[in-house]
C-alpha cells in the first residue's frame, strides 16, 4: 500500500493507518470506533530500543494495535457463510477465503461504508468528502442488491460502494430505497417460514410495552420475505452487542453491569421477550445500542430486532433452555428475574389468530401466565423505531 489510509467519521480524521508497516496513529481519540477504543497504544520508537526486553515489548504493542484494527475491519466485512455471499465475492473477483488480505480488499472496495454508522476509509490526499460516500443519501447499486438476495451470477467492473459488503447476518438480505427511505429485505432459509415468523413476532411486540423494529411482509421476484426500515440515521449510530462486549473487556469493565447501568429497562424486557417467543438466537450481533455519531456517547439500547428464529421447537419444549445472552442461566430464570425489575405488560389479550400455529399460541400464553404478565387496557400501535432514539439524540 503506497499511501496511508485515513479512518474517517463523517469528515473528521480519526486515525491514520498503514497496514503494511503496522502503523496506527490516533488523530481523534474521542471518535475512535468502540472496537478500537482503549486498545491502541503508541509503541516505543525503534531508535530508543536498548534491550531485548524493550524490543519484545515494542513488538507486542505493534501486534496488539494490528489486532485491534483487524477486529474493527472484521466487524465490517460480509461473512463468507452468509447465504449468497459467495456470489457477491465472485462478482467482485474476491477470493472465497477469510484471509487478512481478502478482508482488506473488501474494505477498500466499499471504503468500509456501513449503514450502521458513519465511519469510512479514505486514501490520504484523496479529494472526496463524506457526502460523496454516505449511502443513506446516495444511490444504491440494485445489481449488487439482487445478487445479495437471489445469488445472481454477475461480474462487476471497478469499485462499487455498497452496504451489501458490510451487512452482517446469515440470511440472504439486501438494502433498497423506497420513497426516499432505506429498507432491509430479508429472505428465509426454509421457504417463507422465517419471514412469516419475523412479521408475526413484530405484530406480537406491537401489543407489548417494548421498543422494537417493525417488520412488514414483502416480496421480490415473486418470493415472500420481510422488510424493515433502517434503524440508524445521520445522528445515531449502532454499536453491536459483540463490539460493546469487546469494548468493555478492553476497558476492564463488566459488560453486563455496564449494560444495566446504561439501559436496564430495555435489557430486562429483551430477556422477557426471548422467553415468551422461545428465541434461542440472541447472540452478539442480534442486540446492540445507539450512540451519538458526533460524540460516541452511548444513549441506550436500540429497538429489539431479528426474531426470525423465534418459536424454536426445542426451546418451546424446554422451559429450562440455556440462555445464550447470560451464561450459566436459563431463559426462564432470566425472564423471572427481569419481571422483578421492570414493568412489562400487554395492551390486550392475545388470541389464536395472532399466531401461525396452535403450538406457538399455547407456548406463548403459557409462558406469559407463568411470568404473571398483566394486560393494561389501551392498544398501542406499532412503534416507530426512530421516535424514541431521535428524542434521545436531542438531549
Indicate if 247 and 162 belong to the same structural domain.
no
Is the same domain home to 376 and 247?
yes
Beta bridge partners of 182: 177
**What is the C-alpha separation between 374 and 247, in angstroms, rounded?**
37
276 and 159 assigned to the same domain: no
Same domain, 63 and 137: yes
Residue 202 within any structural domain of the chain = no
8 A C-beta contact, residue 228 and residue 216: yes
Can you tell me the mean pLDDT for 22-42?
91
Q: 88 near 164, Cβ under 8 Å?
A: yes
Question: Picking from 85-89, 156-160, 251-255, which range would have the lowest pLDDT averaged per residue?
Answer: 156-160
What integer pLDDT is reported at residue 62 of this predicted model? 85
Instruction: Decide if 87 is inside a domain.
Output: yes
User: 133 and 250 share a domain?
Assistant: no
Domain limits at 282?
236-393
Instruction: Give the list of residues 6+ apart from residue 311 with CB closer than 8 angstroms, or none.
Output: 197, 277, 278, 279, 357, 359, 360, 363, 364
178 in a structural domain: no
What is the Cα–Cα distance from 140 to 136, expressed in whole angstroms? 9
Distance CA 361, CA 354 (A): 8
Query: Does residue 306 sit within a domain?
Result: yes
| H or E element at residue 177 | strand 173-178
Residues 129, 47 within the same domain: yes
81 is a domain residue? yes
pLDDT band at 381 (very low <50, low <70, confident <90, very high): very low
- What is the phi/psi pair of residue 252, to 5°? 70, 30
Residue 162 and residue 39 share a domain: yes
Asked if residue 218 belongs to a domain, the reply is no
**Listed residues 142, 170, 198: the one ending a domain:** 170
CB 290 within 8 A of CB 239: yes
pTM more than 0.75: yes
3-class state of residue 117 by DSSP = coil
Please say if the pLDDT value at position 126 is more than 70: yes
Neighbours of 33 (CB within 10 A): 23
Does residue 392 register a pLDDT over 80?
no
Grid coordinates representing 139 are 444511490
The set of cell numbers assigned to 210 is 417494548
Q: State the chain's mean pLDDT as an integer.
A: 89
Q: Are residues 161 and 310 in the same domain?
A: no
Residues 246 and 152 in one domain: no
Q: What average pLDDT does the segment 48-72 reach? A: 84
Q: How many domains does the chain have?
A: 2
Domain final residue pick, 149, 170, 191: 170
Report yes or no on 250 lying in a domain.
yes
Q: Is residue 336 part of a domain?
A: yes
List all residues 6 or more positions away from 287 whose beta carbon is below 8 Å from its beta carbon. 240, 241, 270, 301, 304, 325
Q: Are residues 164 and 250 in the same domain?
A: no
Share of the chain above pLDDT 70, in %: 93
End of a domain among 151, 170, 189? Answer: 170
β pairing state of 374-375 and 345-346: parallel
- Tell me what pLDDT residue 34 has: 94
Q: What are the CA-CA distances from residue 270 to residues 45, 226, 263 (Å)?
A: 48, 21, 11
According to the model, what pLDDT value does residue 391 have?
Answer: 47
Describe the strand order of the beta sheet including 5-9 as a list of residue ranges: 23-26, 12-18, 5-9, 119-123
Cell of 25: 496513529
Q: Is the pLDDT of residue 160 over 80?
A: no
Amino acid at each position: 500500500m503506497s499511501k496511508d489510509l485515513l479512518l474517517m467519521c463523517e469528515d473528521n480524521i480519526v486515525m491514520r493507518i498503514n497496514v503494511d508497516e503496522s502503523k496506527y496513529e490516533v488523530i481523534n481519540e474521542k471518535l475512535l470506533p468502540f472496537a478500537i477504543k482503549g486498545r491502541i497504544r503508541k509503541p516505543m520508537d525503534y531508535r530508543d530500543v536498548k534491550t531485548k526486553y524493550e524490543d519484545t515489548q515494542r513488538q507486542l504493542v505493534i501486534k496488539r494495535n494490528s489486532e485491534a484494527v483487524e477486529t474493527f475491519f472484521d466487524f465490517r466485512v460480509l461473512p463468507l457463510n452468509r447465504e449468497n455471499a459467495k456470489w457477491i465475492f465472485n462478482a467482485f473477483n474476491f477470493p472465497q477465503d477469510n484471509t487478512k488480505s481478502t478482508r482488506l480488499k473488501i474494505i477498500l472496495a466499499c471504503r468500509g461504508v456501513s449503514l450502521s454508522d458513519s465511519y469510512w476509509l479514505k486514501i490520504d490526499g484523496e479529494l472526496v468528502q463524506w457526502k460523496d460516500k454516505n449511502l443513506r443519501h446516495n444511490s444504491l447499486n440494485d445489481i449488487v442488491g439482487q445478487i445479495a438476495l437471489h445469488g445472481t451470477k454477475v461480474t462487476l467492473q471497478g469499485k462499487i460502494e455498497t452496504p451489501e459488503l458490510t451487512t452482517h447476518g446469515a440470511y440472504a438480505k439486501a438494502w433498497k430505497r423506497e420513497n426516499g427511505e432505506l429498507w432491509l429485505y430479508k429472505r428465509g432459509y426454509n421457504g417463507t417460514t422465517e419471514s412469516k415468523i419475523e412479521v408475526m413476532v413484530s405484530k406480537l411486540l406491537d401489543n407489548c410495552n417494548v421498543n422494537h423494529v417493525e417488520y412488514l411482509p414483502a416480496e421480490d421476484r415473486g418470493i415472500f420475505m420481510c422488510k424493515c426500515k433502517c434503524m440508524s440515521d445521520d445522528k445515531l449510530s449502532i454499536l453491536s452487542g459483540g463490539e460493546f462486549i469487546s469494548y468493555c473487556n478492553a476497558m476492564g469493565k463488566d459488560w453486563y453491569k455496564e449494560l444495566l447501568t446504561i439501559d436496564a429497562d430495555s435489557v430486562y424486557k429483551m430477556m422477557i421477550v426471548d422467553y415468551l417467543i422461545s428465541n434461542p438466537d440472541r447472540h452478539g450481533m442480534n442486540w446492540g445500542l445507539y450512540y451519538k455519531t458526533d460524540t460516541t456517547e452511548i444513549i441506550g439500547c436500540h429497538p429489539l430486532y431479528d426474531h426470525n428464529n423465534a418459536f424454536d421447537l426445542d426451546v418451546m419444549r424446554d422451559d429450562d433452555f440455556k440462555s445464550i445472552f447470560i451464561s450459566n442461566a436459563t431463559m426462564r430464570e432470566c425472564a423471572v428475574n427481569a419481571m422483578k425489575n421492570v414493568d412489562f405488560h400487554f395492551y390486550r389479550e392475545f388470541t389464536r389468530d395472532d399466531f401461525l400455529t396452535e403450538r406457538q399460541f399455547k407456548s406463548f400464553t403459557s409462558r406469559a401466565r407463568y411470568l404473571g404478565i398483566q394486560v393494561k387496557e389501551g392498544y398501542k400501535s406499532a412503534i416507530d423505531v426512530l421516535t424514541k432514539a431521535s428524542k434521545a439524540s436531542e438531549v
